[in-house]
Amino acid sequence: MDNIKYYNDSLAYDFEMFMPHNTAQEVQGKDNIVKLPKTEAKVRARRNAAAKHLSVSAFAVLASVMILAALCGNIFLRLRINEVNSEINKVKSQIDAAKSERTSLSVQVEREISYSNIELEATELGMQKMDKSQVKYIRVNDKNTAVTKDGKTVTSSKD
């Protein structure tokens, strides 16, 4: 056996030397490649660094897209708010115009219905205020009966 190669590289024992070899297939199935842990760790570290760089850049892109989307949404919402406010102002102006028209119509109606206007219209039609000469008194006898123009007699029910 060639034990010198083990003493040059490492102080650890290789217990496989003391194990019995069962078959020739086991020997052929083993790879002759020895992986050094330091180089494997360096490769793994490089992959992790590349993955971190990729994930950081992907995060930066994603964050910038989200910020851009938020800004666009904000602008859209502000535009919509302005449109709704202008519609509200149009409706308020229409309401104010309707209120002023209502006020003018109510004033006009009050002018038409006022007592002095009614009195003026009555005098124009030939009407006049009532006097004592226009009052006709009816005398009723003690029996509380009256005769209508049809000739029927009406009596009160206070007997």
Q: How confident is the model over 111-152, as pLDDT tens digits?
A: 878 888 888 888 888 888 888 887 777 766 666 777 787 888
Alpha-carbon distance of 45 to 48, in angstroms, equals 5
pLDDT score at 102? 96
The answer to whether residue 50 scores a pLDDT higher than 70 is yes
Q: Which residue has the higher pLDDT, 44 or 158?
A: 44
pLDDT score at 101? 96
- The answer to whether 49 and 33 are in contact (CB under 8 A) is no
Note the residue count of the chain: 159
Three-state DSSP class for residue 154: strand
Q: Name the band, by pLDDT with cuts 50, 70 and 90, for residue 10.
A: low
pLDDT score at 8? 55
pLDDT score at 59? 84
The answer to whether residue 96 scores a pLDDT higher than 90 is yes
Q: Which residue has the higher pLDDT, 117 or 10?
A: 117
pTM of the model: 0.39
Alpha-carbon distance of 75 to 67, in angstroms, equals 12
Alpha-carbon distance of 156 to 145, in angstroms, equals 7
